[in-house]
Amino acid sequence: MSLALPWQRGQVLERAPALPHGRAMPKTGHAAALIPIAQIVYFVFLMMIFIGQQPFSARNQEQLVAMAASNDGSDVFKQAFFIGFALLLTGIEIVRRYEPQYRFSYWPMVAMLAWFLISCAWGVDPFVSFKRAMQQVIVVYITFLSLALLGPERIYKTLRAALLVSLLICWISLPLTPHAFHPPTESDKALIGAWRGFFFHKNIAGAVMALTFVIMGHSFFTTRKWYYALFAVMAFVFVIGTKSKTSLALCFAILAVSSVYRLLSGSVAKRAVLLLLVAVGMVLFLGLYIAFEPAVQRIFADPTAFTGRVSIWRVVFDYLADHPYLGSGFGGFWQVGTNSPAHDYLNQQFQMLTAHSHNGYLEILVTTGPVGLILLLVSFVVLPAWWFLTGANRQNATLMASAFAIWSFVLYQNLLETSFFDKDRQVWVIFLSSLAIAHASYKGVERPRWHRRARAGHQTVAGTARPHRFQTPMEETA
Burial class (CB in 10 A: 0-12, 13-18, 19+), 381: middle
Query: Cβ atoms within 10 A of the Cβ of 119, count?
Result: 25
| Amino acid at residue number 138 | I
Cβ within 8 Å of residue 279, ≥6 positions away: none
Report residue 198's pLDDT band, with 50, 70 and 90 as the boundaries.
Answer: confident
Average pLDDT over residues 212-221: 91
Report residue 16's pLDDT band, with 50, 70 and 90 as the boundaries.
Answer: very low
Angle at 340 between CA 432 and CA 371, to 5 degrees: 45
Average pLDDT over residues 234-259: 86
| Amino acid at residue number 67 | M
Is the pLDDT higher at 183 or at 74? 183
pLDDT value, residue 9: 35
What are the Cα distances from residue 398, in Å, to 54, 91, 116, 331?
34, 31, 33, 35
For 327-373, what is each residue's pLDDT tens digit?
Answer: 888 988 877 777 778 777 776 665 556 667 788 899 999 999 999 99
Average pLDDT over residues 145-171: 93
Tell me the H-state helices in 16-175.
29-51, 61-70, 76-95, 107-119, 126-150, 152-173
Residue positions counted in the chain: 478
Say how far apart CA 371 and CA 376 lie, in whole Å: 9
Quick check: 472 pLDDT over 50? no
pLDDT value, residue 237: 93
Q: Give the count of alpha carbons within 13 A of 131, CB side only.
A: 13
Angle at 63 between CA 58 and CA 68, to 5 degrees: 125
Is the pLDDT higher at 316 or at 345? 316
Report pTM. Answer: 0.81
Is the pLDDT higher at 65 or at 186? 186
